[in-house]
Amino acid sequence: MPSKEWSVQCVCDEIIVISEKLRNSIVDHQTAPAPFPPSLWRESVKSEDGISTLDLSCNNCDKEIEYRWNAVIMENPHTKKRDMQDTKTGHVGLFKDEWEETMYVTPNSWVKGKRTVHKVKIVKRPRKSRHSNSLQDIMQRWTMGHSLYYIQFALAGIEGVIDPKEMNLLKQRMKENKVLQDGLGNEGYHDEEKRFIDAEIYYNEAVKHGKAEVVRILRDYLTRVAESHNWEKMILSLLYTQIFDIAMADGEIWSGEVEVLQMIVDEWGLDIGIPLLKGMTDASGRGI
């Protein structure tokens, strides 16, 4: 008995056909309960061979079709809504912003039945293998850009949770600083969104081992970042100012954040710092 098939129409009008098993795996991946924390990476769908990660693309235009939960279904922490909305039944969606265009599918994209003989193009792309979320793979592609993201995650979450406003600013920085971060990532890893997610995964892993481990790693990366800039105070002062903005993104500052900011000032040997906060109280009412 032949296997059942599902299809979807690409923006180039090509009809993409996959097996029912593969379609069900994608839908299950997108509709399963959200992980905690919500931004944590979840395992991608496996290809028909059950080993390699599924890369979904169109045979005609050769463009990748996004399906991953964290890229399509996860809510924007600032708007509390999804950036990529449900697609028209039977069609691939197209999301555009000022940086890129992304073709994607949601659970209702697929229709039952084969409308053409064309098959989905499933290939093993080396660039995808670099995006594995195992800690070993993450550390192999770690760059100074990763380190800067970790520093900001550590500051934002030092009190135990990252405020949605702080996370939103972090994501804005990820896009606004793309050129700078690509420059820092001169080891050859230039996917900014993946770099951001890598750092968040590593930060979340450090959190499991307690605040002391988060701070230990933070101190190490502070030194590495400074060394990468030859301890140039003008550059480090600029980075400090950007990091300071993360702490104030939610309109409040906590003593734990002040401690991290002072740590950065001390580690980098900066003349500027947080004296302007002296005498103030933090969000809990404690003195700074």
Judge whether 75 lies within some domain: yes
Give the tokens for residue 208: 């499991």
pLDDT digits (tens, 9 = 90+) for 114-170: 764 444 454 444 444 345 567 888 888 888 889 999 999 999 999 888 888 888 888
pLDDT at 194: 82
More confident of the two residues 264 and 135: 264
One domain, residues 253 and 225: yes
Of the listed ranges 96-110, 116-130, 160-174, 190-204, the one predicted with least confidence: 116-130
Q: Which of 98, 125, 152 is the last residue of a domain?
A: 125
DSSP string, 186-243: TTT---HHHHHHHHHHHHHHHHTT-HHHHHHHHHHHHHHHHHHTTT-HHHHHHHHHHH
* CB contact set of 73 (below 8 Å; sequence gap of 6+): 30, 31, 82, 84, 106
One domain, residues 110 and 151: no
Of the listed ranges 59-68, 96-105, 215-224, 275-284, the one predicted with least confidence: 275-284
CATH number at residue 182: 1.10.3680
Global pTM value: 0.52
Of the listed ranges 185-194, 218-227, 234-243, the one predicted with least confidence: 185-194
Alpha-carbon distance of 205 to 153, in angstroms, equals 12
Q: How many structural domains compose the chain?
A: 2
DSSP string, 125-137: -HHHHTT---HHH
Of 154, 156, 124, 112, the closest CA to residue 53 belongs to: 124
Q: Which of 104, 125, 146 is the last residue of a domain?
A: 125
One domain, residues 77 and 108: yes
One domain, residues 114 and 169: no
Of 77-86, 241-250, 271-280, give the range with the top mean pLDDT: 241-250
